[in-house]
Structure 1
Amino acid sequence: MSLVAKAVLAGVLALGVGAGGVAYMNSGDKTEAAKVATLKLTIKSTNGTHAFTVESAKTQDEQARGLMYRTDLKPDGGMLFWPYPSTGGAPVDASFWMKNTPSSLDILYIRADGTIARIAENTVPFSETPVPSGEPVGAVLELMGGRSAELGIAEGDLVTWDKRAD
């Protein structure tokens, strides 16, 4: 993925999750290894609470790799982009694209208070068309395409995670 506004967010090819909740990730050319921590995240919607274990992309490098080239997404997995290093963690008008991303994603734009501002469902793989947040957000969550509708997740639902986790 890529944040077109103030920070660049891209994607990555994951090799798996190791001990201690660390996802071992490579760049698209499979030569540059990196580690990305995982964390527990919940979304409270009108039909219940939904639990996920997501990769946490906090640094510019992690956010630059994001979910590019990924084909191994799990129904209760995903990637959380927060905070934005280029803004010191301040909310930004975010805009993602699907360049080099072969899997359709649901992109959930999350306000600073944890509520979902916008859900871009079933984004088009490999598209370079920007998908904007529509307002300043403090985080962005990417899930497997169609997962939000399947679980009944909607704008206004509350997303929580331990911000001290990594």
Structure 2
Amino acid sequence: MKALLVCLALLFSGCLAAVPDNDALPVEQVCLISADKAVPITVEVARTSAERSRGLMGRERLAPNAGMLFVYNNQRRADHGFWMYRTLIPLDIAYLDRDGVIGAIRHMVPCPSDQGRDCPTYEAGVPFYRALEMNQGYFENQGIGVGDQLSRKPSDCR
């Protein structure tokens, strides 16, 4: 019986090892550009609906110059937004147009509710194609605001 359990455990562990790690998102080096500087940051890129839905849920921390970039194929309406359900850390979110120009920045706080319906939505207030989440206070501390731009071109980040 013990041998059977060991064999089953080995077989099961092999199955688990074959499951891809869906938590690993592509990482890009990008920069935020203002009138007088370029601020390099590292972002995880969430492109699929599942990746965007998961976002930064469950994370206990975010590195100081790191964030998550949410990419949409089509423009999102101004009344669309993000929520903080199951998100443990306070964040700022910048809503970006097609060219990466920041149209709005919102400050978001963790939602302690076990029910998503009880969590507020932080509407963009402007149409957007992308959204960038960073640690709360990051944009202000770096002097980045509405009208500044996210660039994904390495040549812009030097």
TM range (shorter): 0.7 to 0.9
Give 2:123's aligned residue.
132
**What displacement does 1:46 show?**
3.0
Structure 1 residue ranges (4+ consecutive) displaced by more than 6 angstroms after TM superposition:
none
Q: Name the CA distance, whole Å, in 2 between partners of 1:71 and 1:32.
A: 23
Q: Name the CA distance, whole Å, in 2 between partners of 1:47 and 1:77.
A: 21
Give 2:148's aligned residue.
157
Q: Tell me which amino acid in the other structure corresponds to 2:151.
A: T
CA RMSD of aligned residues (A): 1.7
Q: Tell me which amino acid in the other structure corresponds to 1:90.
A: N
Q: Name the CA distance, whole Å, in 1 between partners of 2:121 and 2:53.
A: 16
Give 2:134's aligned residue.
143
Q: How does 1:32-111 map to 2 (within 5 A)?
A: 33-34=21-22, 35-83=24-72, 89-93=73-77, 94-111=80-97
Q: Name the CA distance, whole Å, in 2 between partners of 1:124 and 1:32.
A: 31
Rg larger in 1 or in 2?
2
- SS of 2:50's partner is helix
Gaps of 5+ in 1: 1-30, 84-88
Q: Name the CA distance, whole Å, in 2 between partners of 1:47 and 1:130.
A: 33
- SS of 1:78's partner is strand
Q: Name the CA distance, whole Å, in 1 between partners of 2:105 and 2:140.
A: 10
Determine which structure has the larger strand proportion and give its number.
Answer: 1
Gaps of 5+ in 2: 1-18, 113-118, 154-158
- SS of 1:126's partner is coil
Q: Spell out, residue by residue over 1:48-70, the C-alpha distance to the aligned partner (whole angstroms, 9 max, x if none).
A: 11011110001111111100011
**What displacement does 1:114 show?**
1.4
- SS of 1:150's partner is helix
**When the two structures are superposed, what TM-score results if normalisation uses the length of structure 2?**
0.75
Q: Name the CA distance, whole Å, in 1 between partners of 2:81 and 2:20.
A: 26
In the alignment, is the contact (CA less than 8 A) between 1:47 and 1:152 conserved in 2? no
